[in-house]
Structure 1
Amino acid sequence: MVAPPDNDVLWARSLHYSHRGSPALVGVSLGVRESEILAVCGPRGGGKTTLLRCLSGQLVPQQGEVWFNSSPVHTMPPVHRERLRRDRFGWIDPEPTLVAELKAWENAALPLLLRGVSHRKAKSTALEWMERLDIGGCADKRPHALLRSEQQRVCVVRALVTVPVVLFADEPTATLHRADAAHVLRTVTAAARSHRITVVLATHDADVAGLADRAITIVDGRRANSFGSADAEGRAACSLSV
């Protein structure tokens, strides 16, 4: 094994992964620099989610290497990968997933509470983030009483409250209307810039890709192309996937 470049917080080489014999990743390599926002573009079913799950340690590639800050994620025992995801990574799914029995603020603060942060501090931090996403008034509601867009914003807060080193966002605004999506993305990118969070953002939307520093395209499990910073190039990357 060869350790990744010092300025890459995430680095992957020759990733291969198949789902029930169907290739999802075929030899994908990439590096993500510290504090970079990287858009992973491509059509649905093209391998974006599998790539993010391998990079975050949720899946172990069947071939290839994944490194986080010079630590080999692909050879870590499951308990170490679980700790890495809990303590260093944040994750946003396309669909909101909340604990039905918990209030909105408790769902948002859950990562802090699991770390042993005091109830008062965890609630205060969650409420600060909820206000930034205009859902402070939903704090005491349970998921069933929230609109879908509100549920998704609670999930975004849950991913940000710990100020992760890396935030993985898998089509995070896919279920939101355009205005809600724009607000969520502005908050996520602003938080990433101000807190130096590295973001890996899967999307098939050219407008979303345009917010990134750099974009790559995954088509049929393969790295199709890469582009330099933001808007025009991000749009070009996503245009290849449709």
Structure 2
Amino acid sequence: MAAPPDDDVLWARGLHYTYDGSPALQGVTLGVREREIVSIAGSRGSGKTTLLGCLSGRLLPAGGEVWFDGVPVHTLGLGARERLRRDRFGWIGSEPELVPGLTAWENAALPLLLRGAGHRAARTAAHEWLDRLDIGDCADRRPAHLLQSQRQRVAISRALAHSPAVLFADEPTAPLHQADRLQALRTLTAAARSHGITVVLTSHDPTAASAVVGGPADRFDDSPAATLVDRTITLIDGRRTPPVATAPDPEGSAACSLSA
């Protein structure tokens, strides 16, 4: 079992995973550098959520390796993986998954409290993130009294409040209205960069996807949103697609197309 490259904080090789005999991942290999923001693109059923599950230790791959900061995640037991997710990782799903009996700020502060942070410090951090996501006035409400979009913002606050080493975001803007999606993504990625957080996120929504592609794969997109991530990786039917070559047109300008 070879260790991953030194410059990759998160690394996977030859990942395979199946659901009821159907392949969800078929030999996916990738590396993510520290503080990098990477988008995983693909349609529904392409394996994006399964890949995030394997990278974060929520799922154990049927084959292949996952390494985080030199630790072979794929060999860890359930308890060790749970501690890793609690202490070093953050997670945002397409559904908020809040604790019904806790207020918004208590939900946002939960990872800090579980790590042993003081009540006052945890509450202050939670309120700061709720304010940044424009729901500070909802801090004392319980999830049942919040709109779906507000609950998702609480989930985003919870994932960021303890400054995880790696943040996994699976369709993080799915419950938000279209007008709010780019703002939420900008807040998330700006916070990650300012706090040195590595991010791996997914989206199949065309609006969100256009807001999170950037770097070499889409160098012709000069919109402000194109700078939100560093790299985009594309999955099709559980496989990572190779880069798409583009040829110059007769006028000498290159045709723009998505690449992995």
With the shorter chain as reference, the TM-score category is over 0.9
Change (3 A) 1:222 1:164: same
What is the alpha-carbon distance in structure 2 between the residues aligned to residue 140 and residue 235 of structure 1?
46
Alignment of 1:84-233 (within 5 A): 84-204=84-204, 205=206, 206-210=209-213, 211-226=228-243
Structure 1 residue 226: deviation in Å? 4.7
Shift of 1:121: 1.0
Query: RMSD across aligned C-alpha pairs, in angstroms?
Result: 1.6
**1:61 equivalent in structure 2:** 61
TM-score by length of 2: 0.86
Mapped to 2, the partners of 1:159 and 1:131 lie a distance apart of: 15
Match of residue 230 from structure 1: none
Say if 1:216 and 1:226, in contact at 8 Å, map to a contact too. Answer: no
Question: What's 2:220 paired with?
Answer: none
- Cα pair 1:108 1:157 within 8 Å, conserved: yes
**2:248 corresponding residue in structure 1:** none
Q: Please tell me whether the aligned partners of residues 49 and 170 of structure 1 are also in contact (alpha carbons under 8 angstroms).
A: yes
**Identity over the aligned pairs, expressed in percent?**
63
Once the two structures are TM-superposed, the CA of residue 179 in structure 1 deviates from its matched residue by 2.1
The 2-side partners of 1:207 and 1:137 are apart by 31
Question: Does the aligned pair in 2 maintain the 1:207–1:235 contact within 8 Å?
Answer: no
Equivalence for 1:4 = 4
Distance 2:137 2:212 in 1: 30
How far is 1:237 from its partner?
Answer: 4.2
Contact 1:215 1:226 in 2 (8 A): no
For 1:116 and 1:195, how far apart are their aligned partners in 2? 20
The answer to which of 145-154 and 178-187 deviates more is 178-187
Q: CA deviation at 1:125?
A: 0.5
Aligned to 1:28: 28
Higher relative contact order (CA 8 A, sep 6+): 1
Question: Which shifted more, 209-218 or 148-157?
Answer: 209-218
Q: Which amino acid aligns with 2:212?
A: A
Q: Aligned to 1:225, what secondary structure does the other structure show?
A: coil
TM-score when normalising by structure 1: 0.93
Amino acid at match of 1:45: G
In structure 1, what is the Cα distance between the partners aligned to 2:62 and 2:144? 39
In structure 2, the gaps of 5 or more residues are 214-227, 245-255
Distance 2:30 2:80 in 1: 23
Rate the CA distance shift 1:87–1:101 in 2: closer, same or farther, 3 A.
same
Q: Secondary structure, in 3 states, of the residue corresponding to 1:236?
A: coil
2-structure distance, mates of 1:170, 1:197: 16
